[in-house]
Every structure is written in C-alpha cells, then in structure tokens.
Structure 1
C-alpha cells in the first residue's frame, strides 16, 4: 500500500544543499588545520583565525536560516487522531523519559499513514499510553515525522478520541525523514579535506623549513633591520626575530623588542603576545574594536625569565628543550601561560597580570 502525504522530495541532493555541505566541511577543515599549524609554528594570527572562523560561520549560518525557520513556524500544524500501535521507553534517568511511539495517523482530509515519533513522557503519565489507545496528535503538513502527541487536547478532540476506533495501516505506509544520503556525506568530507589541505599548503614552508632567524619574505619590507634582529610590523601584527646567541630572556631584550613594535604609541593594544627563545609575535587589536586588549607596556616582562625557570625546574621537566609564553585576556583578566617541553613531556603554569603564579600543570 502506498500513500501520498504531501511530503516534499528529499532536498539533500540539491545543488544548494551540496554547496552548503561543502562550505561547512571547508570551514571545519580550515579551522582545525589553522589551530594545529598555528600552534606548531607559533603563528598567533593563524591560531586566532582557527578560533574565530567557526564562530563567525556559525553566526552567519544561523542568520541565513532565520527566514526558513520563520516560514516553518508560521505554518499551522494539522491536528488528527492516531492509534498507538506500540511504544517503547528508550532511556532516561530523570522523571521525564523518552518514549518511541509507533502510530497510525488518520487525518480528516487525507489518507492514513504510519509514523514513528519520540517524545518525553513523565513517569506518572506513562500509564495513560497503551497499545490501541487513540490519542490526539499534531504535525506540520510537510513534515509528518515531526509529529507530537497533544497531552491536553481541546474538549472537542478529547471527545472524538474517546469514541473513535481506528484501523491499523501496514508498514508500507510509514513515513520518515528523508535520509542524508552518501552524496551529502561525501561532499562534506571533501570540503573538510580541501580546507585542511589549503592551510597546510599555504604554510608548508613554516611547517617543514622553519628557521626562527630567517629573513622575512621579500614581499614584506621590514620597518627595522639590523644584524642582530629583524622586526616586521603591520597594522594587524608584528614580529621580532633575534639573531644567533640571543634570547628574549636576556635582561631588557623583551622590552626593547616591544618598543620597536609599538613605535612609541602608548595606546596601542594587542590581542595576544607570544614569546619564544628568539621570536616575539604580537597580534594587535583592530582599531576601534570593542574587544578586551592587552596594554603592551603594562605587562610584567621582568617576571618572564623567572616564570620560565620555575616552569622548567619545578614541574617535572628536568631537561627543557623549548619554552613558550602566551599572554592574552580573551576571557577577561590577563593570563600569562608558560609552556615548557622536554623528554619528560610538557608542563605549564599560568600567572596573572602581575606575574604571580596561579596554576601549575606538571609534566605528563
């Protein structure tokens, strides 16, 4: 037996749906790759992009779907009688447990059909639902698989349900949500791989041929260039690379580097500051943006060497091979994170804006 329920054909294979799936996969792949590559290469702008990209895409996706959701909400649901062919509790530990109902629905203006629907039912009310009972249901005309049992119907529908006797229809008349399909999943995976590959290819030189002392690309003209360090400053970020035999733990070295990036601008704010042995990276806050920023001249640089020493001697890493300091205030107050890595594993500690240690994570 076949029925016509007015349900539209599956839309998962339309060009628009496939394009949306490819774009979603691309955003996920790009974001994950940006986080990994940005962390490995200490590229703060790339790492920040990996954090921000899915948030922006999610917001745009939500806004783009508002007209559709508004249209669906404006559709008046159909009301009909249904017979409970079977029911089964499928889990739950609270007073409301999900119950899967197998129902025969008999609309007043259309053919009967079978449908499965899951709904939370209070344990106290569970005894009110038994096989062959007649209940009142509501569902969108174009999506009958989103059916819900009306717990408190109007007196008219309650009287009709009490006196009705409905015949069951065969399983062949069952309706269900259209499946996603293999094509949609394949396109989603293809987008994910394409996004990840694009990031890896763009930053392959940083990944496989990293050299902290290398000269900056010829396309970028350094604002300051000496034999001992290289400074590159743009409106969005700045970096300082020291020459061999130097370290940002040397007295006064970090303050001089920060001064070369700010160029005497006391009011310039930053989103993140990343310090390694011979590389300083700063991501500046956009001009006029209402975001919490770091006062570059107010950070406790004199405490940085002591923090690195403490992380490398008291947290189980006896022979540190590398260290990194990341400073930001994305969640409110200033947080200084020191990470050291050695044969024993990775250890870290966190300090506040004055350089006082507030948290320690031993090597693991």
Structure 2
C-alpha cells in the first residue's frame, strides 16, 4: 500500500546528506586521532584540539541547520485522527515515562497507515490511553512517521474523537524513517579513517622520533660527524661533554675522551667513572694516597654498547628515559653497573672488569 502524503521521502543518499556524513566521520576520526596522538607525543594543543573540534563541529552543524528548522517550523503540521493499536511503557522512573505506541493514523486526505512512535506520557494521564482508543495526532506533511499525540486537542477535534470509528490499517501500510543504508555508513567510515590518517601523517615525525628514543641507545647511535666537545680537567676530577650529534656509545668516543682526561701517557688512577649519553665524569684518586682505584684506560669500552643494549631491552623497562654506566673500585674488585630508568621504575645489571654480566636487577 502506498502512502501519498506529500513529496518523496528524504533519504540519506542525497549528495548533501552524504557530504554531511563524510564531514561528520572526518571530524570524529580527526578528534579521536588528535586525542591519542596528542597523548603519545605529549602535545597539549593537539590534545585540546581533539576535545574542541567536535564541539565546534556540533555548533556549526546546529547553526547551519537553523534555516532548515525555521522552514520546517513555518510549515503547519497536519492534524489527523489515530487509533491506538497497542501501547507499552518502556521505562522511566520520573512522573513522565516513555510509552511506545503502535498507531493507525487516518489522514483526511489520504489512506490510513500504521506507525510506531515513543512519547513521554505523565503517569496521571496514562489511563486516558488504551487500546482501540482514538487520539488526535500531528505530523509534518513530508514526514508522516514523525507523529506526535496531541495531549490537549481543540474542541473541534475533541468532538471528532468522541464520534470517530476507525478501522485498523494493515501491517503492509506501516511507515518509518528511511534507513541510512550501506552507502551512508561507508561514507561516514571513510571520513573517519581519512581524518585519523591525516592526523597521524601530520605528526608522523613526532611519533617516529618518540619510537626512536624508546629504542636502546646502541641501536640508534648518533653520527660522529660533529667534533664539538668540551673537556674540563682538574686535580680531582675530569669531565668530557659531547655535542648533540654524538654519543659515547659511538666507536672510539670513550677511548678519545679518557685519553684527553689522562693526558695520554699519564696513568692517573680513578675512583669512579660515570658514562652517560653525552657526558663522561671521572673522579681521580688523590695523589700520594693508597686508596683503591683503577686505570680508566683499561675499562672494556668495547663491551659498553652491548651492556646498555641488554639493560634497556631485557630488564622490564620498555621505554627507557635515561641510562648511565658507573664503574668504581671503592673496595674489592672493579665493578661496572648499567642503570636504566623509565616509567616502569629503575633496573640495573652488574658486570665485572671484563664486561661479563654477573648480576641483574629487573624493574619492579
């Protein structure tokens, strides 16, 4: 049965509807990606934009729809009689509860049709609605499924209700809002994916850079093309600081740095030596004393990259923030410790004077 109640029913396959769905999907995808990527790269502006973008889109969507809503409000709704086929309360704990109605609507200028609606009804008035009862309804001329029961009809329509006798419309005459369809859903999904991809591509460098910092320092050694370094030597200590493009895990860097601190052939004993990414610190034994010490030139520097690699990948620190190598001989034999810190806590491993690991302390 065909319901001829006005212009053709709108669908979600019109170009405007598809464009609106694509834009909405793009905004949602962009906002979600901005929240995730902003949290990963620790970018406050990006994270905030992920919160603000949906609100701005919603506001613009509301403002853009105001002319259409004004036109719809200017069109007088159609009024008709309807018979309640069935009703069911579907929830609610307040005085107004949602009730699902199955109605037969009988327009004056068209065939009757069936429609299902949900409308809030006050508990006090619920007894006024019963199966086979006749009520007055209104709906937009081109949206026959958007039916609302008129709770206080005019005296004229109250008189028509009192004398009305309506027959049930067949189930084949049921009308409902048109489904969105696969095309509309695909367009929304496409917009969502493209929005997310755009954000990831724009901040790919930050994401890759963060991944690189999470790798072990030995797997991402900086180039030794720069020769900038600062050396400070005193009678009690010595430090060597490298430029930003160099690392003490680079081949030959520690040998050269220790050589600059010990002045080549000057075999100065050291109490401790601490190696970080770009900073070497050595504390020398006081001259003329018998305190324990070690020759900093004799450390197994070729084993340091492998020790750092093992400490940053096998001790439970998944995203290491800092690492340092500490060599000392305050008592007993020479000990080399590699300490790694990260979000999971601190972990360390201990090696002997030949660089062989003898003890591990994973993060807890």
TM-score (norm 1): 0.58
Residue 157 (structure 2) pairs with residue 157 (structure 1): yes
- State the Cα distance separating 1:155 from its structure 2 match: 1.2
SS at match of 1:165: coil
Residue 119 (structure 2) pairs with residue 135 (structure 1): no
Q: 1:169-188 counterparts in 2 under 5 A?
A: 169-188=169-188
Q: Match for residue 52 of structure 1?
A: 52
Matches of 1:341 and 1:58, distance apart in 2: 40
Q: Deviations over 1:11-51 (max 9, x none)?
A: 20111211111111111111111121122112233223223
Is the 8 Å Cα contact of residues 12 and 184 (structure 2) preserved in structure 1? yes
Matches of 1:200 and 1:3, distance apart in 2: 49
- State the Cα distance separating 1:156 from its structure 2 match: 1.3
Total equivalences in the alignment: 231
- Call closer, same or farther: CA 1:211–1:10 in 2, change over 3 Å: closer
Q: Match for residue 69 of structure 1?
A: 69
Matches of 1:47 and 1:172, distance apart in 2: 51
Matches of 2:146 and 2:73, distance apart in 1: 13
Matches of 2:159 and 2:36, distance apart in 1: 63
Q: Deviations over 1:282-336 (max 9, x none)?
A: xxxxxxxxxxxxxxxxxxxxxxxxxxxxxxxxxxxxxx9769xxxxxxxxxxxxx
Matches of 1:98 and 1:181, distance apart in 2: 28
Q: Match for residue 100 of structure 2?
A: 100
Q: 1:334-353 counterparts in 2 under 5 A?
A: 342-343=343-344
Gaps of 5+ in 2: 214-227, 231-242, 246-318, 323-340, 346-364
Instruction: Tell me which structure has the larger Cα radius of gyration.
Output: 2
Q: 1:289-308 counterparts in 2 under 5 A?
A: none
Matches of 1:55 and 1:341, distance apart in 2: 36
User: More deviation in 193-202 or 1-10?
Assistant: 1-10
- Call closer, same or farther: CA 1:322–1:88 in 2, change over 3 Å: farther
Gaps of 5+ in 1: 214-225, 229-241, 245-319, 324-339, 345-364
Matches of 1:50 and 1:63, distance apart in 2: 21
- Call closer, same or farther: CA 1:227–1:102 in 2, change over 3 Å: farther
Is the 8 Å Cα contact of residues 81 and 107 (structure 1) preserved in structure 2? yes
Q: 1:1-364 counterparts in 2 under 5 A?
A: 1-210=1-210, 342-343=343-344
- Call closer, same or farther: CA 1:341–1:94 in 2, change over 3 Å: farther
- Call closer, same or farther: CA 1:199–1:70 in 2, change over 3 Å: same
Matches of 2:14 and 2:4, distance apart in 1: 22
SS at match of 1:18: helix
Is the 8 Å Cα contact of residues 11 and 179 (structure 2) preserved in structure 1? no
Matches of 1:167 and 1:11, distance apart in 2: 30
Matches of 2:192 and 2:200, distance apart in 1: 13
- State the Cα distance separating 1:52 from its structure 2 match: 2.5
- Call closer, same or farther: CA 1:145–1:9 in 2, change over 3 Å: closer
- State the Cα distance separating 1:7 from its structure 2 match: 5.0
SS at match of 1:83: strand
Matches of 1:227 and 1:119, distance apart in 2: 77
Matches of 2:143 and 2:342, distance apart in 1: 55
TM-score (norm 2): 0.58
Q: CA RMSD in A?
A: 3.0
SS at match of 1:126: helix
Is the 8 Å Cα contact of residues 77 and 141 (structure 1) preserved in structure 2? yes
Matches of 2:158 and 2:106, distance apart in 1: 15
User: More deviation in 77-86 or 43-52?
Assistant: 43-52
- State the Cα distance separating 1:107 from its structure 2 match: 1.4
Is the 8 Å Cα contact of residues 2 and 172 (structure 1) preserved in structure 2? no
Matches of 1:173 and 1:25, distance apart in 2: 34
Is the 8 Å Cα contact of residues 7 and 143 (structure 1) preserved in structure 2? no
